Amino acid sequence: MKPIPRIIHQLYFPDEAAAPSSYREYRKGVLASHPDWCHRFWTERSARGLLREHYPAFLPVFDAYRFRIQRCDAIRYFLLHRFGGFYVDMDIEFVRPLDTLLGDHQLIFCDRNCIGNAIMGSVPGHPLWPEVFAAMRRRRERPPPRPGRLLDWTQMYYVSRSTGSEMLEDCVVRLGCRDDGTALVVPGHVLEGDARYQVGRDRKPLPGHEDMYAIHHKGMRGVPLRLRVMNRAAAWTVRHVQTLCARFSGKEGKKC
């Protein structure tokens, strides 16, 4: 199989003009650090056009999503299946180009307690993506909260299970991509470095993080402000309740 093509996909819904100025600056950095790569920017309109032309059976699911972030999540998997390359969130800032990371891998992911979908690479047509498409169909309805998982009540965890990182992690594990030698899964700081603790004022990685390629500023611009506030408050409350429960029970909860 051919290596991951030098294509970078980015998107913002409804279009690039609506993106915050900081995101547009990060995008300029992506372009500057990868001058020999093909860059493709996707809007909500062009994303629907791709689905209409190549994946029409999924378009009703896409249009029925309640939250825009779910549509932003979903379309990135179709981009990687159709074209290959790297998907890169708009709040990603590069400290060096991706060229030396490519190798002969068929998939490249970042593990930050679970497989992330903010930046990821793939060859076109990889068999993981049809598995992801099927999982998104199965999970389009909000499931009941699982016993003992208080965070399941928050909206962001529903998004993660329906189109986001938890859904992707389950598919990667189910298909055995971690174990079959086709996927490179790097530590969290390599592709999603933390600007607060892992990068100096000169924007260079601090000692111990020299293998970093990018910083993830972890914006939530695709999520309505009301939901951002509610979910942050709910997640903070639940984490502290679970910590207290763990102290009394002697058990530790799973982080992701």
Pick the CATH number of 7-148+158-221 from 1.10.1380.10, 3.90.550.20, 3.90.650.10, 3.30.1330.10: 3.90.550.20
Q: Which long-range contacts (CB under 8 A, 24 or more apart) does 226-232 make?
A: 227/67, 227/155, 227/156, 230/154, 230/155, 231/154, 231/155, 231/156
Contacts of 125 (CB under 8 A, 6+ apart): 81, 84
Q: What is the structure's pLDDT at 141? A: 82
Q: What is the DSSP string of 12-56?
A: -SS-GGGS-HHHHHHHHHHHHH-TTSEEEEE-HHHHHHHHHHH-G
Angle between the N-to-C axes of helices 155-162 and 165-175, in degrees from 0 to 180, rounded to the nearest 10:
30
Q: What is the structure's pLDDT at 9? A: 98
Q: What is the structure's pLDDT at 256? A: 39
pLDDT average, residue stretch 107-130: 96
Tell me the pLDDT of the chain averaged across its residues: 87
Q: What is the structure's pLDDT at 184? A: 96
Q: Which of 129-133, 155-159, 204-208 has the highest mean pLDDT?
A: 129-133
- The DSSP 8-state label assigned to residue 2 in this structure reads P
Q: What is the structure's pLDDT at 122? A: 98
Q: What is the pLDDT of residues 3-34, one digit of tens each?
A: 999 999 999 999 999 999 999 999 999 999 99
Report yes or no: 37 and 6 within 8 Å, Cβ to Cβ: yes
Per-residue pLDDT at 251 exceeds 50: no
Q: What is the structure's pLDDT at 38? A: 98
Q: What is the pLDDT of residues 61-72, one digit of tens each?
A: 999 999 999 999
pLDDT average, residue stretch 81-103: 97
- CA atoms of 34 and 17, how far apart (whole Å): 22
Q: What is the structure's pLDDT at 169? A: 96
Residue with tokens 């030396």: 100
Count CB-CB contacts under 10 A for residue 111: 18
**222: confidence class by pLDDT, cuts 50, 70, 90:** very low
Per-residue pLDDT at 229 exceeds 70: no
Q: Where are the domains of the chain?
A: 7-148+158-221
Q: Which long-range contacts (CB under 8 A, 24 or more apart) does 237-244 make?
A: 238/150, 238/151, 238/153, 238/154, 239/151, 241/150, 242/150, 242/151
Q: What is the structure's pLDDT at 178? A: 86
Count CB-CB contacts under 10 A for residue 241: 12
Per-residue pLDDT at 186 exceeds 70: yes
**245: confidence class by pLDDT, cuts 50, 70, 90:** low
Report yes or no: 121 and 85 within 8 Å, Cβ to Cβ: yes
pLDDT average, residue stretch 82-103: 97
Q: What is the structure's pLDDT at 240? A: 59
> What is the distance of C-alpha 137 from the center of its chain?
18
